[in-house]
């Protein structure tokens, strides 16, 4: 019998890349019917890039902080992508509340579009089936989502979140879980949409929080489940693609 067909995946990271490592290991052990084609980061010092290089996965960096600084200090001479239409993206996004200032929203969307265009230039030539955000600490805007996914009915950007969504969206899921005094914590894998951590949920795992658990205990328990959940959800996606 021949080997199972494998989907093409890529990843974006910002830090240590422990979720990336779990995915790479699962691919190597044939627990996921997938091949990792690249790992990109917004942080040139992300340790996860070394993990990718060790696995012979191509890497790239798009320096978000440098782009944001450039737009802030010299907005006139900072070029936006040719296909960027501010009002269209602004009307589509669901990242900001109605009370947010127009100036803040405009700056965010412009700076992200510049960075996201560079990310797209790196990844689109690979023609991957799935992009996994394995600890990527940047919110994707409609500019990126629409150009990568092509169709809202076929999402293909998967994210891991450190809380049981829809509770505690945002960047500090485990910290918020701890501060709120929850007795149950967990992690969620979901597809990306135009909001912040609001996309369709693909899978969740939960753990008990004891009275004497510290924030570090909660993070440790959560990460151990993340390393199981993310590969499982990627494999489910791979199976669904084969059945289409």
**What amino acid positions are annotated as catalytic residues?**
161
Integer Rg of the chain from CA: 18
Round to whole Å and give the CA distance between 201 and 205: 12
Rounded to an integer, what is the distance from CA 108 to the centroid of its chain?
A: 18
Yes or no: say if 72 and 44 are a contact pair by the CB < 8 Å rule. no
Give the CA angle between residues 133, 188, 68 to the nearest 5°. Answer: 35
Find the helix or strand (DSSP H, E) in which 60 lies.
Answer: strand 58-61
Strand, helix or coil for residue 187? strand
Give the chain's count of helices (H) and strands (E). 8, 7
For residues 138 and 123, give the distance between their C-alpha atoms in angstroms, rounded to a whole number: 16
SS3 of the chain: helix, strand, coil, percent, to 5:
45, 20, 40
CA dist 42 and 13 (Å) reads: 7
Bridge partners of 7, per DSSP, are 34
Return phi, psi of residue 168, to 5°.
55, 60
């Amino acid at each position: 019998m021949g080997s199972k067909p494998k989907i093409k995946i890529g990843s974006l990271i910002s830090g240590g890349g422990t979720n990336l490592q779990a995915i790479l290991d699962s691919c190597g052990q044939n627990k996921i019917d997938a091949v990792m084609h690249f790992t990109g980061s917004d942080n040139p010092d992300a340790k996860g890039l070394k993990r990718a290089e060790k696995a012979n996965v191509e890497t790239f960096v798009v320096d978000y902080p440098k782009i944001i600084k450039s737009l802030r200090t010299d907005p006139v001479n900072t070029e936006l992508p040719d296909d960027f239409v501010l009002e269209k993206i602004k009307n589509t996004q669901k990242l900001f509340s109605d009370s947010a200032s127009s100036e803040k929203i405009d700056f965010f969307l412009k700076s992200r579009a510049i960075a996201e265009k560079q990310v797209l230039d790196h990844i689109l030539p690979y023609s991957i089936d799935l992009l996994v955000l394995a600890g990527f600490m940047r919110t994707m805007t409609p500019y990126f989502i629409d150009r990568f996914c092509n169709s809202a009915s076929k999402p293909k950007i998967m994210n891991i979140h450190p809380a049981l969504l829809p509770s505690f969206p945002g960047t500090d899921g485990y910290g918020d879980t701890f501060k709120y005094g929850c007795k149950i914590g967990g992690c969620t894998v979901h597809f990306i949409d135009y909001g912040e951590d609001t996309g369709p949920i693909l899978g969740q795992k939960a753990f008990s929080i004891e009275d004497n658990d510290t924030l570090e205990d909660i993070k440790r328990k959560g990460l151990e489940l993340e390393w199981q959940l993310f590969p499982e959800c990627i494999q489910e996606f791979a199976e669904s693609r084969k059945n289409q």
